Structure 1
Amino acid sequence: MSLDLRKLGYFVAVAQSQSYVRAAAELHITQPALSRQIQALEESLGVTLFTRDRRGTALTGAGRQLLEDAVPLLASAVALERRARAAARLGNEFTIGFMPGVPFTDLLAEFRAAHPEVSVDARYVPIVEQEPYLLDGTVDVSFVWLPLKSRELRHVELLDVPRVAVVPAASPLAGATKLTLEDLRAMPLVDDPGSLPGWRGDSAPRRRPLVAVEERLEAVAAGEGFCVLPAGVAQYHRRDDLVAVEIHDAEPVVVALAYTRHRTMPEIQHFAAMARRHLTRRRGE
């Protein structure tokens, strides 16, 4: 059996929207054409994927299992295409992912001067995209905050950065020069508790912890609690209505340079060595 990824994508669209009408509109095809594609997929698999009644479209047990497997499969297919295109440009292009809080400008200039034969591009990498951008080939190498989840990634540790608590400017904690984990105990944490190892709060964790920096800052400004960021990121996103205070007894965040394990470009190791020397010099200044 050959699985048609296009039909699989149609299936995911219907499953996620729970509506043939909405899915057809999103896919820019007619509803009858979409129904035929789903029917063909069901016939090729030998299972029924959806039940339809007056209440709408629902997944069968087989459909739920297929959806669970199809989403990462389609993402992997997209990543495969991007990595293939990235491999086609090896030898003359090199894309470096950067993020707020890591001194980068001088390092980039130094690397470009050392490799005039390579077209070096720099791309901003949001925290929530640091692993996806590496895995799908958007960037060849990137500065990241540890830890990383994917086993496909390798990294070189570069430096430690203090963790800060971002609180509303009107909070009693905003006037402190430093805070402890105990100082923050009574205040809700809007992001994942994993962002602050060792912290045990009095409030239950959010049902959906916030990940994107902008979402976290908006939640803090709205008085929902505090968030934790690397000091450099907080400085980059500073606002008049928020204050960042170092957490004295929190483990620092580790900045690393990461790349996928299958990447063999010599520029990666050259850039990693240069980054270590560059950041070591800055710490000594």
Structure 2
Amino acid sequence: MDIDLRKLRYFVAVAEELHFGRAAKRLYITQPVLSRQIRALEHELGAQLFSRNKRSTELTPAGHQLLEDARPLLASAAALGRRIEQAAHGAPTFTVGFMPGIIVTAAVRVLAARHPELSIGVLRTSWDDQTEVVHNGRADVSFVRMPVDRQGLRLRPLFSEPRVAVLSADHRLADKQSIGVADLAYERLLQNPDAVPEWRDLPERPKAEPARPAFTGVEEKLEHIATSGGVVVLPLSTATFYTRSDIVHVSIEDIGPNQVCLAWSADRRSPLIEEFAGIAGDQA
């Protein structure tokens, strides 16, 4: 069965908006056209994707499954387009994504020395897009901090490092050599609690969840810590990357380390990627 990628993009827009009018506006098409395309896709697949009434639009079980599979498929298609465009317009390229605090210079230099004809770029990522850049083709490989969604990826473990609590310089725990995670039980965590399950699952932590902050990066979290309090738990290299006099980091004795892996698309069979993975492993 051949699936029209354009119809898939239309489907994903409706699935994310759960509103045909908003999805049509986002896609710059009219709502009747969008409705016809979705009906055509349902006919091609032989399954109802949405349950609609006058008040709401919901995904059916088949719709949920298609959304799960459509996103990586569209990302792979976009990545393919980028690679073809790059190949058609000049020298071969290779892009390495990396999270703050992770130094990739040595591995990049080795690859550059082996392949002087190769144009190598680096791309700084964040918690939100560290694997997305591989799926959508912006990076060939990415140094990622676990945990990540492993679907559609190959991962090579490289190294692990301690995690630390980052606090304001005048915090009650700022002068400690080390603390336990229970010392943070009543602190306001300025990140998704799922990123720090050891804190999330503390039995003595207050039951009421603090409002989840809408911070988009480490810099915003640190600014909030310095001005308004709170705490984040970060890998040591990330904490030391953002050195400032009004922020300190303290070791946490009873919390596991953060693991760093090299990630790339499971669909790609590139000798260059395999070679770089070997280089990264040797440099770790």
TM, length-normalised to structure 1: 0.76
* Contact 1:187/1:203, CA 8 A, preserved across alignment: no
* Contact 1:127/1:212, CA 8 A, preserved across alignment: no
Query: How far apart are residue 78 of structure 1 and its match?
Result: 1.5
Rate the CA distance shift 1:5–1:104 in 2: closer, same or farther, 3 A: closer
Within 5 Å, give how 1:104-115 maps onto structure 2: 104-115=104-115
Partner of 2:269: 264
1:236 pairs with one of 241, 259, 272: 241
Query: How far apart are residue 216 of structure 1 and its match?
Result: 4.5
Partner of 1:77: 73
Q: Following the alignment from structure 1 to structure 2, what is the Cα–Cα distance between the partners of residues 262 and 14?
A: 27
Letter in structure 2 aligned against 1:69 = Q
Q: Which moved more, 1:91-100 or 1:1-10?
A: 1-10
Partner of 1:124: 124
Partner of 1:283: none
Partner of 1:149: 149
Unmatched tracts of structure 1, length 5 or more:
280-285
Query: How far apart are residue 112 of structure 1 and its match?
Result: 0.9
Rate the CA distance shift 1:98–1:11 in 2: closer, same or farther, 3 A: closer
Query: How many residues are matched?
Result: 274
RMSD: 3.6
Q: Following the alignment from structure 2 to structure 1, what is the Cα–Cα distance between the partners of residues 252 and 5?
A: 48
Query: How far apart are residue 128 of structure 1 and its match?
Result: 2.1
TM, length-normalised to structure 2: 0.76
Percent of counterpart pairs with the same letter?
34
Rate the CA distance shift 1:52–1:252 in 2: closer, same or farther, 3 A: closer
Query: How far apart are residue 116 of structure 1 and its match?
Result: 0.9
1:274 pairs with one of 255, 274, 279: 279
Query: How far apart are residue 165 of structure 1 and its match?
Result: 0.9
* Contact 1:192/1:210, CA 8 A, preserved across alignment: no
Letter in structure 2 aligned against 1:59 = T
Give secondary structure in 1 for the equivalent of 2:158.
strand
| Offset from partner CA, 1:29-50 (integer Å, 9 cap, x none) | 2234334434545666575845
Within 5 Å, give how 1:136-285 maps onto structure 2: 136-196=136-196, 198-199=198-199, 200=202, 202-204=205-207, 205=209, 212-214=216-218, 216-217=221-222, 220=225, 223=228, 225-238=230-243, 241-279=246-284
Query: How far apart are residue 105 of structure 1 and its match?
Result: 2.6
Query: How far apart are residue 268 of structure 1 and its match?
Result: 2.9
Letter in structure 2 aligned against 1:51 = R
